[in-house]
Amino acid sequence: MSIRVAIAEDNALLRDGLARLITSVAGFELAGTSGDYDELIALVHETNPDVVVTDIRMPPTGTDEGIRAAATLRTTHPHIGVIVLSQYVSPAYAMALLADGSERRGYLLKDRVADVDDLVAAIRVVATGGAVIDPKVVDQLVSSSSRAEKTPLEFLTPREREVLGEMAQGKSNAAIAAMLVLSERAVEKHINSIFSKLHLSEERDVNRRVAAVLMYLTDGDTGHTPQ
């Protein structure tokens, strides 16, 4: 079954290039292209693609339309994957993209598009419910955290690390409970403890989950390598 991909990019040359790439890959189908936020939302409603590949900045404001589109689609079309393309190595953008969960979300730098295999692999991962964060974004976080003598993750118990590992896969509390054979109440207690140890107690819940997951992904001892 083909993966149907919609493209949103205000640069006509890049938009056409992405369209040609999608149509050239076996198992992919181009659902349509758009050049701004409003066109993208209309295109999604009309074609119901499997994955949207969107620029992070488009008209009308040229700021964060890709991030806003991902947030909108999380509500209106939660089954659709979204990959945001950016020229900025910005962990803040990645955190904003994942604010409502990492499932079916990807954040790639535009220079990654030059490597067709990387983009194709990312689309496939997101289409099947996974998450992709550009290694350069993760590297920046690692560089920043490596200057600290200790990472707060070192204070987590083995069980709390297990819970955080499941959170990093975009799982809900119920799904984590089922996987680890715990009650949902126990999972909630572990997550609250994680937030406290990572000094995230004062943030909004969705932001705490994203921040905790990003810390987990950038920790050298997790054994998990971001896609």
Q: Is residue 101 domain-shared with residue 8, that is, in the same domain?
A: yes
Q: Which domain holds residue 200?
A: 148-217
Q: How many domains does the chain have?
A: 2
Residue 223 lies in a domain: no
Query: What global pTM score does this model have?
Result: 0.66
Q: Tokens 């209106």 belong to which residue?
A: 76
Question: Can you point out the beta strands (E) in the chain?
Answer: 3-8, 28-34, 51-55, 81-86, 105-109, 131-133
Residue 222 pLDDT exceeds 50: no
Which of the four pLDDT bands, split at 50, 70 and 90, describes residue 138?
low
Which of the four pLDDT bands, split at 50, 70 and 90, describes residue 189?
very high
Residue 57 near residue 88 (C-beta atoms within 8 A): no
Which one of 104, 134, 164 terminates a domain? 134
Which of the four pLDDT bands, split at 50, 70 and 90, describes residue 111?
confident
The arithmetic mean of pLDDT across residues 103-112, rounded, is 88
Angstrom distance (rounded) from CA 195 to CA 208: 7
Which of the four pLDDT bands, split at 50, 70 and 90, describes residue 101?
confident
Residue 66 near residue 8 (C-beta atoms within 8 A): yes
Summarised one tens digit per residue, pLDDT across range 113-124 is: 777 888 999 999
